[in-house]
Structure 1
Amino acid sequence: MQTHTLSKEMLMAILDGIDEAIHAVDKDGITIYYNKVAAGYDGMEVEEVIGKHLLHVFPSLTEETSTLLKVLKTKKPIYHENQRYENKKGQLLETVNTTIPILNGDHLLGAVEIAKNYGHLNTLSNKLMDLQAQINRSAGSKRISSFQSSYTLDDFITDDARCVNMLQDATLFASSILPVVIWGETGTGKEIIAQGIHHHSPRKHAPFIAQNCGAIPATLLESILFGTEKGSYTGAVDRKGLFELATGGTLFLDEMNSMPLELQAKLLRVLEDGSIRRVGGTSTIKVDVRIITAMNEPPENCVENGSFRADLYYRLNTCPIYIPPLRERPHDISLLLEKKLQSRIPYQVSMEIKEMLQSYQWPGNVRELINTIEYILLKSKEETISTKHLPLKLNRKNQSQAIPKNSGSLRMELQKTEELMIKNAMYQSKGNVMKAAKMLDIPRQTLQYKLAKMGDKSKTAEVLKIRHTD
């Protein structure tokens, strides 16, 4: 009995020590656990919530809007869902919740929710935007770096025929106000092109504002883009969003395919009527903003897999730009190397070193190449760069290990090559099976079957860590 009591006390201490809001209810919606962090978020006392029905404590919630009650009804988990509600004191709160059912076999016992309060993040981000706007106003015509473009199209170094044509298209697109979609792998230079288009456009003296849409909750991103009205959430005041701050200029939305679909619908309305409505506001505000978006995979694939609305795609994809990966333009590797070394002490680079650089696949593209050159210059204190100054990934021995050797049957060599291609595809797609299957041009079910066989055979950590997500 004493051991059981001690275990319960330890469990309560652990849960109370977690820096996340935790709220658990039984199968009838009565709160059975509510930690201090949750109480702090909600502006409540733990005693006000324990033993009471969820809707009694949070009357603004309903069975449709409460993530806990939805999970009790469906017995299915909900991950990273936004929720806005008022607590008993009338304070408006916004959280992102992960809610899972508590089951004993098929018998439902209750549900538990882990919530993150993004009201504080909204406040901090809006304070930052206020500071930027104040500096921008005080500087007059001299805008701060976050509100202007620092790159031109001349900063995109290339002599690849496809990229030269791409730069010509970008120059042509710059003269218009039409939306532009730029896509290419991570590190290919999408923001350079976006800034270059702005710099060569009639809007070059107006703001250029960039916002990454990845890994930001919908509620936070919405207030960043559209601004807020006083009372829209705890601590909110009247504040301009990026659309208002970028009026007359360009708004660059990176990782557009990561933007939540409900927010994409609101963006479509802005493009159609040229007006926005602040979070919590009732009136519309006219804006004049050119939209440039970027993504790291083909827009058509994003539409097909459901991460990019088809109607928004057709509205934005007026002027498409594709940037080929660095591995498909090996001569640019030598060109970028020479350009980078021009401002340094004259270095001698042997043909062997250049061949090693060109034979590497550069999954991080230009960004990875520039970082690698910086590493080489740091390591080399001599005028001649040798193989000892190269990182391990460029070592010829390591490269040869990645190439199957003729030490077995044709079937075994083909299997090794297949497994290597699958691992590379899973790495480049960050573990997304659907995306990897598209890269390999095979059905998703076939790839899942092959991944299962690889896992059963090798038991390697690399294979076992692959996330089978669609």
Structure 2
Amino acid sequence: MAIADLIIQYSEDDKIIAIDYLGDELEWFKELGSERFLNEKLFDAFGDIKNHDILELNTKLFKVQFVKLGTQKQLLLSQDSLMLSLFKETIDKVSEGIQIFDRNGYFIHGNPASEALEGYDTIDFKGKHLLDLYDLSEEMSTTLSVIRTKKPVINRCDRFQAKNNKELVTINSGFPLMIQDEIYGACAFESDLSVINNIKNRSFNLEAFIRNEQPVLNQNMYTFKKIIHQSEKMAECIRFAKKIALTHVNVMITGETGTGKEMFAQSIHNFSPRADKPFVDVNCSAVPSNLVESLFFGTEKGAFTGSMTKKGFFELAEGGTLFLDEINAMSMEMQAKLLRVLQEKRYQRIGGSQYHQCNVRVITACNEDPQSLIDQQMMRKDFYYRISALSVHIPPLKDRKEDIAMLAAHFAQRLCEEYGKPNLTLTPDMLDILTHHDWPGNVRELRHVIEHAVHQANVEEQVFSLAHFPVYLTKGVSVIHTAISDSADGHSIPQLPPQSQTLNDLLDAYEQNVVREALNRCNGNISRAAKSLGLSRQNLQYRIRKFEALSHEQDQEQT
């Protein structure tokens, strides 16, 4: 067991001089980036920590201990010391009574459940032999049997008398505590009827939960299950975000506009222990500069003319999550004020004198490179470190094109339902066009494109066509049919005009030939031709009129 995992040396003026790592997870230490803490003030880097506090660094928890060796001042961070505290805390939460004895039969520890069951105080029992504490023979002691045989004793019912003359009837199990095949102690689990009944009630609660309902989250908010994806990049991003969600540290989500940063923020909140608490979202670019403090910290009545007592964003989010979108739009002055709240975990309403404690997890979203913002002096370095203990980067849609078909189909189905239209399907050609687009607006742009297509489609149509999509998306599509002499059903198609014509001219010429062929096959019957092309009668009529107008314009140009 290591005395410390991290040894942080600091000077008399509290500046960090060196950080030494004694643990075996070197990759984690590398990711921590210890260099960034050097020359920082200790309490600016790690907050207002005290002896025996718990400090979280890059998802790992450490117990804090300050030491002074001569003139050297050190901060020791130990995971093993924390583990001991956590083990004791875990034992103390178990509903069964637990007692721990050393291998000679001397009492080491008893949890609160054992104290309540037998009516003793651990402090009074500590260091005393089992036979001095209980009126029973060595042969009848579960614990001594375990120490003697080095084998467990399971579910043995005992009736015995404690030294305070209280008669006890319990069901006990004992286990040897072995280290490298040597016995160093034994632990005993004890339950009476009240404990057994409590366990029985827990089973009833579980059955009711399975039969009935699970906790209801805000149905309008995203969860990780609602994120449409099939790419490994997005799957890995979600896996990491789930790990982050279980911690209490502040998170920064980065990614291009339209990648779904708020969707991830909501999912992290709903996957976290704060899921049943408020989620307050704030678009920093939309907050007026003269109202920033009153909106974030709240106001007291009379703070200024017409002001009323009102909660701010931090108070509204108490116990839950405060999501700050477009954090890069926040002024440096406001960053300094938020930094103080995040460090001290308290704030004052405008016009108030009382401090309010702040228990809020802050998730921020940034659509620019934070390091670039720091270099341009648009973001404070200390503010960035405080809000980005952990970071999630959402990949742009162009880097996960495997998701495009699934997202497009999802949006098409949802939007058709929303606008009362029959489900429209995307042909392989349409999907090919969508896949080859770079999507600078990412998922938001894709949704708008599908929404545009749904509005353009006629109620009677069943599939999307090129005409339904925005011009900027289809104008760059290559016309690979310029040399095709036969259509899919074997009918002859005249050669298209020379390549000196524009792409739109080529597309119109090809579409005109397809329409002409369909009409010829159906002996001029517009309804039958439209059905064969998957179009409504009105849509085909529109195309015929368009081609007639084009022919008229070409005739005039020739004359």
TM-score by length of 2: 0.44
Aligned to 2:381: 310
CA distance in 1, matches of 2:229, 2:217: 29
- Name the aligned partner's letter for residue 441 of structure 2: G
- Name the aligned partner's letter for residue 356 of structure 2: I
Aligned to 1:75: none
Out of 297, 302, 306, the residue aligned to residue 235 of structure 1 is 306
Aligned to 2:273: 202
Aligned to 1:394: 473
Aligned to 1:174: 245
CA distance in 1, matches of 2:288, 2:463: 49
Aligned to 1:357: 434
CA distance in 2, matches of 1:143, 1:260: 37
Structure 1 residues 195 and 399: alpha-carbon distance in aligned structure 2, compared to 1, 3 A threshold: farther
CA distance in 2, matches of 1:258, 1:301: 14
CA distance in 2, matches of 1:168, 1:217: 36
Aligned to 1:287: 358
- Contact 1:356–1:396 (Cα < 8 Å) also in 2: no
Structure 1 residues 360 and 261: alpha-carbon distance in aligned structure 2, compared to 1, 3 A threshold: same
SS in 2 for 1:244: helix
- Does residue 1:366 correspond to 2:437, yes or no? no
Q: Deviations along 1:366-391, whole A, 9 cap, x unmatched?
A: 11111211111221231121111111
Aligned to 1:320: 391
CA distance in 1, matches of 2:476, 2:334: 49
CA distance in 1, matches of 2:408, 2:239: 24
SS in 2 for 1:167: helix
Aligned to 1:220: 291
- Name the aligned partner's letter for residue 249 of structure 1: G
- Contact 2:374–2:380 (Cα < 8 Å) also in 1: yes
- Contact 2:336–2:383 (Cα < 8 Å) also in 1: yes
- Name the aligned partner's letter for residue 433 of structure 2: M
- Name the aligned partner's letter for residue 390 of structure 1: F
CA distance in 2, matches of 1:236, 1:331: 53
CA distance in 1, matches of 2:349, 2:252: 25
Aligned to 1:298: 369
Q: CA deviation at 1:268?
A: 0.9
Task: Give runs of aligned pairs for residues 58-77 of structure 1, distance below 5 A.
Answer: none
- Contact 1:212–1:253 (Cα < 8 Å) also in 2: yes
CA distance in 2, matches of 1:359, 1:232: 57
Unaligned runs of 5+ in 2: 1-214, 417-421, 480-499, 501-559
| Count of residue correspondences | 259
- Name the aligned partner's letter for residue 193 of structure 1: F
Structure 1 residues 399 and 255: alpha-carbon distance in aligned structure 2, compared to 1, 3 A threshold: farther
SS in 2 for 1:385: coil
- Contact 1:149–1:208 (Cα < 8 Å) also in 2: no
CA distance in 1, matches of 2:442, 2:373: 21
CA distance in 1, matches of 2:363, 2:334: 16
CA distance in 1, matches of 2:304, 2:216: 31
Out of 235, 247, 251, the residue aligned to residue 318 of structure 2 is 247
- Does residue 1:385 correspond to 2:460, yes or no? no
* Structure with larger Rg: 2
- Contact 2:323–2:363 (Cα < 8 Å) also in 1: yes
Structure 1 residues 280 and 159: alpha-carbon distance in aligned structure 2, compared to 1, 3 A threshold: same
Aligned to 1:150: 221
Higher relative contact order (Cα pairs below 8 Å, separated by 6+ residues):
1
Q: CA deviation at 1:235?
A: 0.8
CA distance in 1, matches of 2:389, 2:407: 31
- Name the aligned partner's letter for residue 186 of structure 1: T
Q: CA deviation at 1:188?
A: 0.7
CA distance in 2, matches of 1:267, 1:299: 17
Aligned to 2:347: 276
- Contact 2:332–2:380 (Cα < 8 Å) also in 1: yes
Out of 330, 338, 346, the residue aligned to residue 259 of structure 1 is 330
Task: Give runs of aligned pairs for residues 395-410 of structure 1, distance below 5 A.
Answer: 395-397=474-476
Structure 1 residues 144 and 353: alpha-carbon distance in aligned structure 2, compared to 1, 3 A threshold: closer
CA distance in 2, matches of 1:351, 1:186: 28
